[in-house]
Amino acid sequence: MDDLREKYLARIAEAADEAALEELRLAAVGKKGEVSLQMRELGKMSAEERQVAGPKLNALKDEINAALAAKKAALEEAALDARLQTEWLDVTLPARDRPRGTIHPVSQVTEEVTAILADMGFAVAEGPQIESDWYNFDALNIPDHHPARTEMDTFYMARADGDNRPPHVLRTHTSPVQIRSMMENGAPIRIICPGRVYRADYDQTHTPMFHQVEGLAIDKDISMANLKWVLEEFFSAFFGTAVKTRFRASHFPFTEPSAEVDIQCSFEGGQVKVGEGDGWLEVLGSGMVHPKVLQAGGIDPAEWQGFAFGMGIDRMAMLKYGIPDLRAFFDSDLRWLRHYGFSALQVPTLHGGL
């Protein structure tokens, strides 16, 4: 009995985990455990022997059970301690920074413009920002040496030494997408093309990269009247108030006749307010697509006609959201972005209001 006692108490003390402990329990006091087997021997003993051995065996059994229970509790406590160690958390630490972006006003306004014009049946078209001089100029009736080429402060791409083909350009306007969609889809057409354009220019209202949206509608009997209606509807929806427009005769190589469009605004107190007052602000160029442009796009000008317009998106954003300096749009100043940016959840829709 002393041997059993020493053996099991020592092993219990050393048990590494609850599984080992359970094994020891079975080996000692389980049905076929060593202590239990000894208890079965009691029946074979004389009454005197049994009186001595019985209580001793019972005491041994109790002692082992108590050791098992104590060890079990100790193991559980150690496991909890270990877990608390790994799951330790300093609740006094400041919260971790969570980067939170905003939607840039240019993106927001692009979505607004697209939502309004898509509702009128215009599909969105796109073209490359690196454009051949044919698409950017020639096809739009701006031949070589035409003053418009220099007026646009074009960025030219480099050509390899000895390559004498005309260089590609960073598109100076979204108008080349007119040609691309004519060639791709033929007439009739109703598209807009929002996108980046480039000119070597830099001041409070000019940056070397800016954004335009081009509009093009071609069908059998489209007229300036349709153009005027579309633009007036557009401006009123965009600014959320009735906006008067003024069409001024102008000249673009790719339209005939051409018109520059002003919107009504007041300049009181150094603040521009669209849709009130009797001042005017020029916001876009437009006109009836020139027959030569239709031809360049593979469309027969004897059969089809249409209007086109080109508008500055950044300009629209400045006017609508009261942003004074265009250059700040592209400085990536986080304070500016947080102030003028939009929530990603504020998706512009006509039904939700713009």
Which stretches of the chain bind ligand DAH, using CB under 6 A?
173, 175, 214, 252, 255, 285-287, 308-310
Looking at the Cβ atoms of 33 and 285, the one nearer to ligand DAH is: 285
d(CA 325, CA 9): 84
Looking at the Cβ atoms of 108 and 258, the one nearer to ligand DAH is: 258
Name residue, tokens 């239990």. Answer: 36
Report the nearest approach of ligand DAH to the CB of residue 183 (Å): 16
Report the nearest approach of ligand DAH to the CB of residue 339 (Å): 29
Looking at the Cβ atoms of 239 and 309, the one nearer to ligand DAH is: 309
Report the nearest approach of ligand DAH to the CB of residue 286 (Å): 5
d(CA 217, CA 188): 8
Report the nearest approach of ligand DAH to the CB of residue 112 (Å): 19
Q: Residue 146's closest CA among 350, 303, 354, 292?
A: 292
CB 142 within 8 Å of CB 253: yes
DSSP annotation of 259: E
Q: Is the peptide bond before 257 cis (omega within 30 degrees of 0)?
A: yes
3-state DSSP assignment of residue 168: coil
Report the nearest approach of ligand DAH to the CB of residue 273 (Å): 25
> Half-sphere exposure (CA, 13 Å, Cβ side) for 263?
25
Looking at the Cβ atoms of 188 and 277, the one nearer to ligand DAH is: 188
Looking at the Cβ atoms of 245 and 255, the one nearer to ligand DAH is: 255
Residue 135: C-alpha distances to residues 16, 89, 126, 217, 333 (Å): 80, 63, 13, 18, 35
Report the nearest approach of ligand DAH to the CB of residue 199 (Å): 9
Looking at the Cβ atoms of 21 and 283, the one nearer to ligand DAH is: 283
Name residue, tokens 């074009």. Answer: 154
